[in-house]
Amino acid sequence: MKRFFPKTGWLISAIAIIAICGYGNMALSQQKPANVYVIPISGDVEPGMAAFLKRALNDVPDTADTVIVVEMNTFGGRVDSALEMVDALINVKNAKTIAFVTEKAISAGALISLACNKLVMKNNTTIGDCAPITYSKEGPKMMGEKFQSPLRAKFRTLARRNGYPAVLAEAMVTADMEVYRVKLDGKLVYMDAQEYQDLGKDRQDSITSKKTVVAKGELLTMDDSEAHDLGFSSMSVAGFEEMLTQLKLADRPITRIQESWSEGLVSLIGKLSPILMLIGLGSLYTEIKSPGFGVPGIVGILCLSLVFFNQYLVGLADYTELLIIVTGLVLMGFELFVLPGFGISGIAGIICISVGLLLSLQDFVIPDPNLPWEKEILISNMLSVLSAVLGSFLLALFILRYVFPRLSKTIQGPYLATTLADARLDFPAATTLQAGQTGTAITQLRPSGKADIDGERYDVVTQGDFVPKGSRIRVATIKGTKITVVRIDTDE
């Protein structure tokens, strides 16, 4: 017994020490600071940028100790893409999001910045001016109340969510708002002119100070100090490191999420989509007007495929658009290989491809009346597709008229070395060829080609019909050197 207890005591002590050390290591690992994830947003706001932000947010762990810094430097862009990015940031439930304006956050950039939990601005940067505009012959034109109202509602929602002055956020959208900063009941309050008038005479008399912050006819645009003074920016800093220090995040590891090469390629193809559509449609039309199937058809299918799959990757296209485009290609193939010339099947194929491309450029079919910018997007996309269709027709005519003739094979001299095995007299007067004689098409007649008639090779032409190689033909007329033939039906 005396020997047993000492040994047991040492064993229990060793187990206790191991357990304490393990618990300590576990506690230290749990206290290890989480990463700070940096997502750069730079350039035009477009579908490719929205897809990049959503992918980046999906790669970041959504935990309470995670910090996401969205570096903002943009003049704005498409409203639908900006709203997608806003929804992606709002759906971050646990992680803390910080919008860090490195140069500018204008228009859609301001909307995206206000979707983050906190706003930090670098010295001498600007934010604001989110009025919806369109472009006409006279230049940029501000859209009316129908467009401004839903955007103001979105700004109000984001401002209230993150503690920003809602009426000032609305003033970034509408130039007709006049906003005052008043001291009422000992508190600084922001209100527009209508709210001020609704206070009544007694309440207005109790206001101790009043200052116009946004004059009527102006859009709210702030530099970093003004944004801090008006309650938007939490601080102005000299750079990224100072921001981390001020927020007590300097000890955390930094993970910068960059756009991948494939995402960069998607953005580039998105910008080149109108040109790719023009080349693709023009190549397909050229293929229909030329015999066989060759390079133009391959180029056309490749260009249209790039446009569609690019839109599919950014989330705008789906299987419906793919089915419509494939239907159009089938109709054009039917026109190319089955029916001669260019008729109803070819026109229907062009229409199907155009409709499929149009729908692949947007995430809706019919514009929502509550989202008036969708109508503008639809009109813009229709103009792009229509321009591509008309431009492709002109491009195809140019290629058929000037390019293909120059691609004909030429033979360098001396010409006396050329074989004369296929030489013949083409003038019917020098032969015994007469109307009614029969023969066989040596090549496809679309509508011209070569035929064997009584053992002689002749250049012949049909009356516009397509005659496959090997078909029986009959001489219809002979006019000078022009020999017109018709196909002999199987029954004959």
**Confidence class for position 18, pLDDT limits 50, 70, 90:** low
* C-beta separation of 62 from 92 below 8 A: yes
- Residue 236 phi, psi (nearest 5): -115, 135
Higher-pLDDT residue of 299 and 346 is 299
Type of residue found at 441: A
Predicted pLDDT at 291: 61
Q: What is the pLDDT of residues 40-59, one digit of tens each?
A: 999 889 888 888 999 999 98
pLDDT tens track for 403-441:
766 665 554 555 555 554 555 544 444 457 888 888 898
pLDDT at 411: 46
Rounded to whole angstroms, the maximal C-alpha distance in the chain is 136
318-334 average pLDDT score? 82
Q: How many Å separate Cα 297 from the centre of its chain? A: 25
Q: Are 96 and 117 in contact (CB under 8 A)?
A: yes
Q: Give residue 447's pLDDT band: very low, low, confident or very high (50, 70, 90).
A: confident
Q: Highest mean pLDDT: which of 223-237, 365-379, 390-404, 456-470?
A: 223-237
pLDDT over 50 (residue 2): no
Q: Tokens representing 354? A: 């155009």
Read off the pTM.
0.65
| Measured CA distances, 454 to 433, 437, 458, 473, 476 (Å) | 9, 8, 10, 12, 15
DSSP character for 485? E
| pLDDT tens column, 104-139 | 999 899 999 999 999 999 999 999 988 777 666 666
pLDDT computed for residue 238 by the predictor: 94
So what's the pLDDT on residue 364?
76
% of the chain beyond a pLDDT of 90: 21
* H or E segment and range at residue 36: strand 36-42
Q: For 98-113, write each residue's pLDDT tens digit.
A: 999 999 999 899 999 9
Closest C-alpha among 228, 222, 195 to residue 210: 195
Q: Where are the beta strands (DSSP E) in 228-331?
A: 235-237, 254-256
HSE (CB half, 13 Å, CA atoms) of 66? 16
- Give the model's pLDDT for residue 73: 94
The pLDDT value recorded for residue 310 is 77
Question: What local confidence, expressed as pLDDT, does residue 346 receive?
Answer: 76
Q: Is the pLDDT of residue 244 over 90?
A: yes
Tokens of 471: 């078909």
The residue that leads in pLDDT, 222 or 431, is 222
Res. 395: pLDDT tops 50: yes
The average confidence (pLDDT) of the chain is 80
Q: What is the pLDDT of residues 22-45, one digit of tens each?
A: 544 444 334 455 689 999 999 889
Q: Which of 194-203, 211-220, 391-400, 427-436 has the lowest mean pLDDT?
A: 427-436
DSSP 104: E
What pLDDT is recorded for position 491?
58
- Residues 70 and 120: their CA atoms lie apart, in Å, by 10
| pLDDT score at 126 | 94
pLDDT digit string (tens) for 157-205?
999 999 899 999 999 988 888 999 988 887 888 888 888 888 888 888 8
User: Are the C-beta atoms of 488 and 451 separated by less than 8 Å?
Assistant: no
State how far the Cα of 157 lies from the Cα of 163, in Å rounded to an integer: 10
Give Cα 32 distance to the centre of its chain.
40
At residue 217 the predicted structure's pLDDT band, cuts being 50, 70 and 90, is confident
Q: Percent helix, strand, coil in the chain (nearest 5)?
A: 45, 20, 30
The pLDDT value given to residue 31: 46
Q: Read off the pLDDT of residues 274-301 as tens digits, 9 standing for 90 and up.
A: 888 888 888 877 777 666 566 777 888 8
Distance from C-alpha of 105 to C-alpha of 125, rounded to nearest angstrom: 8
User: In what helix (H) or strand (E) does residue 401 lie, and over which residues does it extend?
Assistant: none
- Supply 379's token pair: 């009109």
Q: What pLDDT is stored for residue 409 in this prediction?
A: 52
CA 79 to chain CA centroid, nearest Å? 13
Question: Is-cis flag, bond preceding 468, omega within 30?
Answer: no
Per the structure block, which two tokens stand in for 273? 């989509």
